[in-house]
Amino acid sequence: MSQIVVESLTKVFRIAERRAGLRGALAGLVRRRNREVRALDGVCFQVGRGELVGYIGPNGAGKSTTVKVLSGILVPTSGTCEVDGRIPWRDRRAHVRNLGVVFGQRTQLWWDLPVVESFELLRDLYAIPADRFRAVGDELTRRLDLGGLLNVPVRQLSLGQRMRCDLAAALLHEPGVLFLDEPTIGLDAASKLAMREVVRTINREQGVTVILTTHDMDDIESLCQRVLVVAEGKILCDGSLASLRRTVSSERHLIVDLAEGISWNGLDGLPAREVEVAGGRVRLGFDPENVAAAELIGRLTARYPVRDLLVENPPIEEVIAKLYAGGKA
Amino acid sequence: MRPATAWAVVSLRFREVLQYRAAAWAGVFTQVIFGFIILMSLRAFAASGTADSPLSPEQLTAYVWLGQCLFTLMPWNADRSVVAMVRTGSVAYELVRPVDTYALWYCRTLGWRTSMVCTRALPLLVLVGVVFPLAGLDGWALPAPASAGALACFLVALAVGVLLATALGMLMHVTILWTLDPEGVTRLAPAFVMLLSGMIIPLPLFPDAVQPLLAALPFRGLIDVPLRLYGGHIPVAAALGPIALSAAWTAALIVLGRWMMARGLRQIVIQGG
């Protein structure tokens, strides 16, 4: 049975419209004009226990709103969702006890105090037994490399350091469900890798269910078996990364490094298209259903002396951008 | 919320506010000046008036100095950390804790409030209670409490006053869920709080006609009841009534605050995406 069930979830925000200019501002004092924004428009999906799902979409698509409704913070306008059989906003306290959340653009740490003080407060808030707190804390400190940070006031931490501490803070009470809302935004490579490694580990080894929203496709490629794409409050696509690629285009790329001194003379009948030619490196796009990679390579190497070859999928950013563009049409 | 959890929140916020030492020293200095101005004015009135002052000179001096010690107890301003939380949307993190949100904020507010009171009251107490007598300023120093019983009643009433101040401050914090900005309410609140609590003019000096009103309002429980108990203006035998009324107000304001917060959180928009 699914652990998270979301059914036709809709959230409408009423926003007071501010008209531009002095006249607009004065008019606004007398009569408020309200505009309705449909942040979520009938979102449905299910997530099984132990899944790691990427939740992606352009800015303003409704990703964060979904996470906030699932966290019990926002009350939806209509529709339902259940996590472990509980309705988050009705049964908020029981629900959040088993929930870890990271909001990438904010911090849950106490700004003026050393990190360890925030951790100890969380221990009290979640009533974590002392031995579990120590064991989990030590483990996270090692994995996220927090050793030197625990006694530093939060305001003195870099963004990457703070986000690693924030992730640890969300995991101290060993939640069974983890929501990560843009956790890697603005982070350097080392911090991103450390965070991904921890998320992967708790998902694989402890079976924690994870929903990850992000704009970083490397996060998705390295972590998620399944991806939900949302745009304008609706789910556009739900499936594996591979199936997502197929819905947009099945094209793959063959990157060819020609031998020294050989120049590219065009496709000359090869069943592919030129994507890019730069110096001795040629990038060809081909459809694997039309021509197998081995056959294409065979025909290519028969014609050109080749130094190196590489077959890869087109960058996921391109796939996603096409998908977003298609969804708007 | 379990008591240990509540204590953890209160003490953490207490320690966080302790960082701002310069603000505390500036506050002490301001309160000394204020204290002298108010005390001098009231003494001048008492000396030139024809009627007997309702407060004896000792009671008046104690009322003014202890009032200045407790200046930061006045619930007239909002905790900037709470304001920032609502404005930036970090309030989302408060809502994913497995505790009652009102209780969590109440404890935060209590820690913030008591931290400010302690950092200002303790140095000022030492100054007016110890340094002034040693410096030969006996006439200006803080007089001793009327009796040991009066001191005990003062401490109990003060504890209730702290809880009352926190409950009043919470109403202000809850309104930020709608307004996003404390400006309006923090301009309106001092007018009521400062005057009706006795911070500017001791409440016994108000006209007899308004005394029943002052006695019924919650603001009196902040400092007026404790300070009158200290000086013996309210005798120990009559202490229970006013303290119980303050406690009842505290309970009522907590119920009101919880109700408002539940409504506020249902319509909340988490700012900043």
Asked if A125 has any chain B CB less than 8 Å from its own CB, the reply is yes
pLDDT at A102: 95
Round to whole Å and give the CA distance between A77 and A9: 8
| CB neighbour list of residue A108: distance below 8 Å, 6 or more residues apart | A118, A166, A169, A170, B90, B93
Q: How far is CA A273 from CA A259, A265, A286, A290, A301, in A?
A: 20, 13, 6, 12, 16
CB A171 within 8 A of CB A203: no
Lowest-confidence range among A72-81, A162-171, A258-267, B78-87?
A258-267
Round to whole Å and give the CA distance between A138 and A172: 10
Q: Where are the alpha helices (DSSP H) in chain A?
A: 21-30, 63-70, 92-97, 115-125, 130-143, 159-171, 189-206, 217-223, 241-248, 293-303, 316-328
Asked if A64 has any chain B CB less than 8 Å from its own CB, the reply is yes
Is the per-residue pLDDT at B188 higher than 60?
A: yes
Across the interface, do A126 and B98 touch by the CB < 8 Å criterion? yes
Place of tokens 């950013």: A317
Across the interface, do A107 and B99 touch by the CB < 8 Å criterion? no
What's the mean per-residue pLDDT of chain B? 92
CB A263 within 8 A of CB A246: no
Across the interface, do B97 and A103 touch by the CB < 8 Å criterion? no
Q: How far is CA B243 from CA A258, A306, B224, in A?
A: 91, 92, 11
Is the per-residue pLDDT at B171 higher than 90?
A: yes
Asked if A215 has any chain B CB less than 8 Å from its own CB, the reply is no
Which of B2, B4, B98 lies nearest to residue A96, judging by beta carbons?
B98
Minimal-distance CA residue of chain B relative to A61: B273
Geometric angle at alpha carbon B118, from B116 and B120, rounded to 5°: 70
CB B170 within 8 A of CB B106: yes
Lowest-confidence range among A287-301, B58-72, B124-138, B139-153?
A287-301
Which site among B96, B102, B263, B268 would you substitute to test the A interface, given the most A Cβ atoms closer than 10 Å to its Cβ?
B96
The letter for the amino acid at A3 is Q
Round to whole Å and give the CA distance between B54 and B56: 7
What's the mean per-residue pLDDT of chain A? 89
Round to whole Å and give the CA distance between A127 and A121: 10
Chain B environment of A101 (Cβ under 8 Å) = 92-93, 96
Which helix (H) or strand (E) segment holds residue A14: the answer is strand A2-17
Asked if A39 has any chain B CB less than 8 Å from its own CB, the reply is no
Round to whole Å and give the CA distance between B187 and A257: 72
More confident residue, B118 or A35: B118
Q: For chain A, what are the domain ranges?
A: 2-246, 250-313
Burial class (CB in 10 A: 0-12, 13-18, 19+), A286: buried
* CATH architecture classification, A250-313: 2-Layer Sandwich (3.30)
pLDDT at B231: 95
Is the per-residue pLDDT at A237 higher than 50?
A: yes
The stretch A158-174 carries a mean pLDDT of: 94
Indicate the CATH number for domain A2-246. Answer: 3.40.50.300
pLDDT tier at B270 (50, 70, 90 boundaries)?
low
The stretch B247-253 carries a mean pLDDT of: 98
Minimal-distance CA residue of chain A relative to B98: A93
Is the per-residue pLDDT at B271 higher than 70?
A: no
Other Cβ atoms less than 10 A from the Cβ of A149: the count is: 21
Q: How far is CA A64 from CA A58, A67, A271, in A?
A: 11, 5, 43
The stretch A45-54 carries a mean pLDDT of: 95
Partners of B259 in the beta sheet? none
Across the interface, do B92 and A59 touch by the CB < 8 Å criterion? no
Which of A106, A112, A120 lies nearest to residue B88, judging by beta carbons?
A106
Query: What are φ and ψ of residue A297, in 5° steps?
Result: -65, -40
pLDDT tier at A327 (50, 70, 90 boundaries)?
low
Q: What is the pLDDT of residues A104-157, one digit of tens each?
A: 888 999 988 999 999 999 999 999 999 999 999 999 999 999 999 999 999 999
Q: What is the pLDDT of residues A168-187, one digit of tens each?
A: 999 999 999 999 999 988 88
CA A153 from centroid of its chain's CA atoms: 29
Round to whole Å and give the CA distance between B81 and B121: 22
pLDDT at B152: 97
Other Cβ atoms less than 10 A from the Cβ of A237: the count is: 19
Burial class (CB in 10 A: 0-12, 13-18, 19+), B51: exposed
pLDDT tier at A251 (50, 70, 90 boundaries)?
confident
pLDDT tier at A329 (50, 70, 90 boundaries)?
very low
The stretch B231-253 carries a mean pLDDT of: 96
Round to whole Å and give the CA distance between A25 and A21: 6
The segment with the largest mean pLDDT, out of A285-299, B8-22, B252-266, is B252-266
Q: For chain B, what are the domain ranges?
A: 3-266
Chain B environment of A92 (Cβ under 8 Å) = 95
Which of B2, B5, B93 lies nearest to residue A103, judging by beta carbons?
B93
Asked if A108 has any chain B CB less than 8 Å from its own CB, the reply is yes
Round to whole Å and give the CA distance between A228 and A241: 9
pLDDT at A274: 87
Query: What are φ and ψ of residue A114, in 5° steps?
Result: -60, 150
Asked if A213 has any chain B CB less than 8 Å from its own CB, the reply is no
The stretch B36-63 carries a mean pLDDT of: 90
Round to whole Å and give the CA distance between B157 and A325: 67
Round to whole Å and give the CA distance between B243 and A51: 57
Q: What is the pLDDT of residues A187-225, one digit of tens each?
A: 888 889 999 999 999 999 999 999 999 888 889 889 998
Chain B residues with CB within 8 Å of chain A CB: 2, 4-5, 8-9, 12, 15-16, 19, 81, 88-90, 92-93, 95-100, 266, 268-270, 272-273
| CB neighbour list of residue A308: distance below 8 Å, 6 or more residues apart | A256, A257
Across the interface, do A68 and B2 touch by the CB < 8 Å criterion? no
Minimal-distance CA residue of chain B relative to A94: B98
d(CA A95, nearest CA chain B) in Å = 8
| CB neighbour list of residue B199: distance below 8 Å, 6 or more residues apart | B67, B71, B74, B193, B223
Which site among A67, A95, A103 would you substitute to test the B interface, given the most B Cβ atoms closer than 10 Å to its Cβ?
A103
Q: What is the pLDDT of residues A53-69, one digit of tens each?
A: 999 988 888 899 999 99
Round to whole Å and give the CA distance between A132 and A137: 8
CB A212 within 8 A of CB A223: yes
pLDDT at A316: 73
Is the per-residue pLDDT at A268 higher than 90?
A: no
Which of B9, B96, B266 lies nearest to residue A121, judging by beta carbons?
B9
Which helix (H) or strand (E) segment holds residue B88: the answer is helix B80-88
